Chains A and B, each alone.
Chain A
């Protein structure tokens, strides 16, 4: 059984770096980072693991908003956690649920993004939320 923090995103695409950045700040969890090809996500955990996923999201909420979803208790809104690669993180979590391969606990943190252009820096609001989420997880 391990405590695993998975940061998802692309460090070169503006606010899409949020998950990566959180994973880089937290030292009290095992950490993995995923860019694309999120199907690999399902291979990262075992069924008895405690897992947290941090990803940028686009839900229409104010930029920097943090949502926490207990993915064991409820499905993920597919549109919010999308990917330019056909199997996004929400689809992988639902695939794992169908196949009985979800970990023991799975919390998904979403940080509302403003822009994800190649080469852009993170928004000020997202930077602040990255710090807050990292502190929360570090102390968890």
Chain B
């Protein structure tokens, strides 16, 4: 294997050195974006994380559509995390109708969502982020040296696809989800067909935790405001209250009172802030920090086994947290399947009311909030969708600004590599956020 980090080249650190690093098209992220960084000596004087994928205007597109169409329309926003969009949408519509749906329908929703976590996390851990740590330009070159690891990754990801196919009707943009439940309940036998592969996946996921925990991590800590859903009885995924590391504890219906979206000229994606409180961090690190004691037993043991404790604030270690969450997803999926009773009927009738509904769930990349205003005919009058990558944009920029300090001696190539790696800590889904990467680091020498 290549060791990019060990071959770091240093450039002479000149007191008045200014430089720019520009990445016009960020690789190994979902969607199209860029980064521009201007460095003056040790200070970053300009930094722009630019999401330039065109805005998708989904919120406008939803206006005038029947409320029951929201899960199918919003699933089209992303091919990697459609279940997240569907779940937040159905939560919001059921909230608008004054309903909460539990029981086996909720368990099926959790299982479907775990399929998406397994698929999305495996893709990111092995195929997108591991090459950074191991010094490969991409997973293709990594596969030549580590074929077994990539073979395992493909098999693990396929399991996620299989869960989505059996529960969701197909692996991309599932069609079996509806407001109130599912169009069809999968049979016990269909779910039992997943058990053998889940048992293999659980062990493989545990080995993945050990593998990625052995990577070299830059010495870097940040003081984040973590935000995630919290559920009293489980590691929240499909629903819960919104909590934070500084003590916020609100119902998703209160999101607009505590969070705001603002536009910056260099990005097509809105930035989200805590009103009066600045940036915050959503995603696996936030979930682990706030809910880590609720992980499944083997996930908890896997984390403890590699010395990972809730509150970890080195964002590069998010790759370990993702691996731990794969363990959790596999173990919980097995528990759901073992206790499964097909819900009959497979859905609850939901009647629209003229009201505003709010819904949130934990997408692979973090909290996903939806708000819909529905009129008396059941038509959507207004919609707001706040994806996790939008919420993390300010944290990404703050990470980059801090990360450069003490590393300005590195040559442009090495610095750019490490900065891109820092962006990938967030597994940014730019396709989602625009509804939004290219990296520029500029160093200018004084004449």
Contact = CB atoms under 8 A, between A and B. Distances in A.
B123 A36 contact: no
A119 B61 contact: yes
Interface in B72-91: 76, 78-80
Contacts of B28: 86
A42 B127 CA distance: 14
Contact of A36 (B53, B80, B138, B161): B80
Nearest to B151: A99
Contacts of A68: none
B431 A84 contact: yes
A39 B127 contact: yes
A37 interface: yes
Contacts of A87: 123, 127-128, 139
Contacts of B250: none
Given A12-B76, A85-B79, A87-B123, A40 B171 contact: yes
Given A84-B431, A117-B54, A42 B80 contact: no
Interface residues of B, number: 37
B438 to A, nearest CB: 14
Contacts of B31: 84-85
A95 B172 contact: no
B110 interface: no
Interface in B30-83: 30-32, 53-54, 56-57, 61, 76, 78-80
Interface string A93-128: 011001100000000000000000111000000000
Interface in B117-154: 119, 123, 127-128, 138-141, 143-144, 147, 150-151, 154
A43 interface: yes
Given A37-B171, A98-B140, A84 B158 contact: no
B29 interface: yes
B150 A86 contact: no
Interface in B275-311: none
A134 interface: no
A85 B78 CA distance: 9
A54 to B, nearest CB: 17
A99 B147 contact: yes
A94 B29 CA distance: 18
A51 interface: no
A35 B172 contact: yes
Given A35-B172, A35-B173, A98-B144, A85 B150 contact: no
A34 interface: yes
Contact of A118 (B56, B80, B172): B56
Nearest to B431: A84
Contacts, number: 71
Interface in A56-103: 84-87, 91, 94-95, 98-99
Nearest to A36: B79
Interface in A1-57: 10, 12, 34-37, 39-40, 42-43
B172 A37 contact: yes
A55 to B, nearest CB: 14
B358 interface: no
B140 A42 contact: no
A43 B151 CA distance: 11
A25 B193 CA distance: 33
Contacts of A39: 123, 127, 154, 157
A43 B80 contact: no
Nearest to B29: A86
23 contacts: A10-B79, A35-B79, A35-B173, A36-B78, A36-B79, A37-B80, A37-B123, A37-B171, A39-B154, A40-B161, A43-B161, A85-B79, A85-B80, A85-B431, A86-B27, A86-B123, A87-B123, A87-B127, A87-B128, A91-B138, A95-B140, A95-B150, A119-B61
Interface of A: 10, 12, 34-37, 39-40, 42-43, 84-87, 91, 94-95, 98-99, 117-119
Given A36-B79, A84-B53, 15 more contacts: A34-B172, A35-B172, A39-B127, A42-B154, A84-B30, A84-B32, A85-B31, A85-B431, A86-B28, A86-B127, A91-B140, A95-B140, A98-B140, A98-B141, A118-B57
Of all A-B residue pairs in the complex, the 10 with the closest CB atoms, nearest first, are: A36-B79, A98-B143, A84-B431, A35-B172, A94-B140, A37-B79, A84-B31, A95-B140, A98-B144, A86-B28
